[in-house]
Structure 1
């Protein structure tokens, strides 16, 4: 090759490199953060499947696809057959079922990873409008750390970006002393079809309406209140744009009526500060920062902050709501009082965004191909289920965490993660019986429901009794499950 030819190739390579650099340089920081979160979620994809409820979520989605209808009664348990039950997360369940049919467990992982990445990219994008990009990325990453325990391939993660966009739209309207745009209504309608948490979206609308009225001139408050009221009624109507209509709101309410039971379900349990963790450190850092810099909030914003904090302290599953929405609630007053300069990323051009999106799409295949995605073995007692089928058991009293897998394997369950179906009284009786707080209650439960088998965790209190109780025998055991059948001595 001649010197001129070599020089020409070098010049072309340099020109191409500069062009690529210019394209990548136009990609805003929030998109890079979203890309990084997406890759991180794929690399650790099995962690997104660490919840047995994912099994029954996909099973319900598949049932909907197979029947071309939505469930209105329970078809999965033998303890509550025919009991009224609706699936307010039907759209998310279909998305997970379709993705599983297309790519096995990789499908739900990719869908969940994409929603999670979109959530934190959107949060960083919102923050960059008021603060430097470095601060925006740092806050978004802290929010992700706090949310990590609840980042799972379940319907709520698909609703998270919708929640963030909805809250931001309300905040902007409030700060402009205007009612929100009616273009926000499709957002809460989508939320209502993805997850039952949409009811909180209505609460947010009321909270930001009060904030708007607080900031408005006295002469403008009455007409502004009427316009927010009209929007609120529109939002309420949009929440009913589901196959179940207003029943979706009633179903969401039943979760909050579970009383004492919520303390026993890990994701609904209150915060535990017995050990120093990320949540406590974040709260302490926020208090220290507010005291040191003298941050002042209006009474409505203070009420919002305290409300979000109360929710996170009361129920662990609300921690991601606190982490995602607190930065939005305090964004404007904090940025103004600290005189922070916004990143002002503006709108990313398609020419800048497209290469990153294409690259992530291409990267998905090799990343997923080298990962063995699968739910936790402890929630997937495959061998024990084969033993259930071998003994032709029809009424197996199961450990609650195994209910999702049994539904997945088309075995009628005694109980599963659908707490709103079983209710507080039934589920508390189940827990008390299996903990042997009342042996008579445990034996009565077996008789009442004509149980012919029990599938329990090794070491569960009831296993010690069954091993010495006449009329039951252990037929299978491994590290994940123990199976008992009626009969023997």
Structure 2
């Protein structure tokens, strides 16, 4: 996204400079502590500080509004919704909030500290993920290679660092993947201790099926490492773990339904092309993703050989990242974990001088810095971007008492937050592909007749669109519609009194 351009440029510059540094230079920065003890804290706190400085960017997505309102609804009713209470176009339709725990966390943070609290929660989750990410990489890589991987991951995740449920599950995902990769690297029994992470994951975000998918590579690599005669023993060792993992993933208020949410989303089909984060990567201009991809291809030409299972995992993650922009997160945070051991064998791992030491000092210092930064962040006045907040338009046009409002997709989150029923919002699983596709084609005037039909079919009393929406020009020319408000954020049209509906 354009709003992260400056951050990306700075990080890209760091990526060019860093290879020139030696491991000794990196280690000297954290002496007398070992890199293994200090670097996870330094990385986590550095990411946290960066996100707090760029706090408004975390609030740049309209779904942040709706997630908070859903969380408030859950706390007010003491229950989870089974049907849609927020729209008029789908009111009463079957709907589950598969991210309910994240929404309650965000709503509680908002109730306690407003938008600064939401920023602190999201930033802390991302920072924790990067701290764990660094910790796991340092087991196999030198500090220099570890920090290079961190820079790559930050660049890939930057556009999607937003106060939404997916960032709360990032540390859980890293911990789960790190536990499985550790077994692939060192052998041993399945990590039963990590199973509770799946219960947390399943209630924070609807991507827990990915966690189950990551078990497959661990089992396959273990099988390939053993003689064929040992395969039954390996399968019997991993089978109970896999069964318990599936059971843990179903421990939600909705049972196993969240496991199917990725399939529901991907089932939107062509409608996904209208949603920016679900589009495929755009190579019409050079960006961070393309540069990193080319750098990775170059690295493979330098003689790096990957075990077949690791290669398949990286290829799979790369496919997901190419198919949908938002999946660059998975490539950035998971691929390095699977590449760490092969890279360590090729380019050198932790040195003998980097033996682990008691981490009490770094922990106490890190916690102190964390508390100080959080306190300063909570004292700031931050709020979501104006471009997704049509507050003035709603107030001036009195849309709360207008009736059915045909709204811009990007305004759906704020309308839910403001208590105004939406025509459409970010819950693609509720509206379905045909509905989303019809809406976008209509407001883009791809199908002019259907736009007019939409106004009458849903008895629309007012429209609320971003200024660049093609439908605005048509409404300006329709005698039964009148423009009643406009600014740089939104334009409002209302039906003239007495116009048929």
Tell whether the structures are fold-level matches, with TM greater than 0.5: yes
Per-residue Cα deviation, 1:441-467 (whole angstroms, up to 9, x for no partner): 111111111111110111311111110
- Select the residue among 266, 270, 289 that pairs with 1:256: 266
Q: Residue in 2 aligned with 1:125?
A: 135
2:485 pairs with 472, 476, 489, which one?
A: 476
Pairing 1:107–2:113 present: no
Whether 1:420 aligns to 2:417 is no
- Report the Cα offset of residue 251 of structure 1: 2.9
Distance (Å, rounded) in 2 between the aligned partners of 1:356 and 1:250: 39
**Number of residue pairs matched?**
468
Identify which of 29, 35, 41 aligns with 2:39: 29
The answer to whether the Cα contact below 8 Å between 1:214 and 1:300 also exists between their aligned partners in 2 is no
User: Residues 26 and 247 of structure 1: is their aligned pair in 2 closer, same or farther, counting only changes over 3 Å?
Assistant: closer
Instruction: Judge conservation of contact 1:28–1:348 (CA < 8 Å) in 2.
Output: no
Q: Is the 8 A contact 2:142 2:344 kept in 1?
A: no
Does the 8 Å contact 1:397/1:454 carry over to 2? yes
Q: Secondary structure at the match of 2:284?
A: coil
Give the match's secondary structure for 2:398.
Answer: helix
Please provide the CA RMSD for this pair.
Answer: 1.9
Q: Which moved more, 1:381-390 or 1:242-251?
A: 381-390
Q: CA deviation at 1:372?
A: 2.9
Q: Distance in 1 between matches of 2:316 and 2:261?
A: 22
Deviations 1:380-421 (A, max 9, x none): 000111134367212000001000000000000000000010
Judge conservation of contact 1:131–1:340 (CA < 8 Å) in 2.
yes
- 1:414-436 CA-to-partner distances (Å, cap 9, x unmatched) read 00000010000011000011011
- Aligned pair 1:222/2:199, yes or no? no
Map 1:184-223 → 2, pairs under 5 A: 184-223=194-233
What residue number does 2:17 align with? none
Aligned partners of 2:143 and 2:350 also within 8 Å: no
Matched, 1:313 2:322: yes
CA contact (8 A) 2:37 2:357 kept: no
Bigger mean CA deviation after superposition, 257-266 or 26-35 = 26-35
Greater Cα shift, 439-448 or 214-223: 214-223
Deviation at 1:340, TM superposition (A): 3.1
Distance in 1, matches of 2:33 and 2:223, equals 44
Equivalent position of 1:141 in the other structure: 151
Equivalence for 2:416: 407
**What is the Cα deviation at residue 272 of structure 1?**
0.6
Q: Residue 468 of structure 2 is aligned with which of 459, 469, 484?
A: 459
Match of 1:172 in 2: 182
Q: Which runs of 5+ in 2 are unaligned?
A: 1-29
* Separation in structure 1 between the aligned mates of residue 318 and residue 34 of structure 2, nearest angstrom: 39
1:9 corresponding residue in structure 2: none
User: Quick check: which has more Rg, 1 or 2?
Assistant: 1
- Which residue is equivalent to 1:352? 362
Describe the superposition over 1:345-394 as per-residue Cα deviations: whole angstroms up to 9, x where unpaired: 5365334311221222023223443x431111010000111134367212
8 Å CA contact 1:26–1:348 kept in 2: the answer is no
Q: Is the 8 A contact 1:164 1:325 kept in 2?
A: yes
Q: Any stretches of 5+ residues in structure 1 without a counterpart?
A: 1-19
**Alpha-carbon deviation of 1:26?**
9.3
Query: Deviations for 1:274-315, whole angstroms, at most 9, x for unmatched residues?
Result: 1111111111111111211x1111221111111000000000
Provide the rounded CA distance (Å) in 1 between the counterparts of 2:470 and 2:299: 47
- Looking at structure 1, the residues matched to 258 and 46 of structure 2 have their Cα atoms a distance apart, in angstroms, of 35
Asked if 1:247 corresponds to 2:246, the answer is no
On the 8 A contact 2:120/2:377 being kept in 1, the answer is no
Matched, 1:182 2:173: no
- The answer (yes or no) to whether the contact 1:432–1:438 under 8 Å persists in 2 is yes
Distance 1:390 1:56, change over 3 A: closer
Contact map agreement 2:467 2:488 (CA 8 A) in 1: yes
Q: What do the CA deviations read for 1:16-48 (whole angstroms, capped 9, x no partner)?
A: xxxx99689995112111111111111111110
> So what's the TM-score if we normalise by structure 2?
0.90
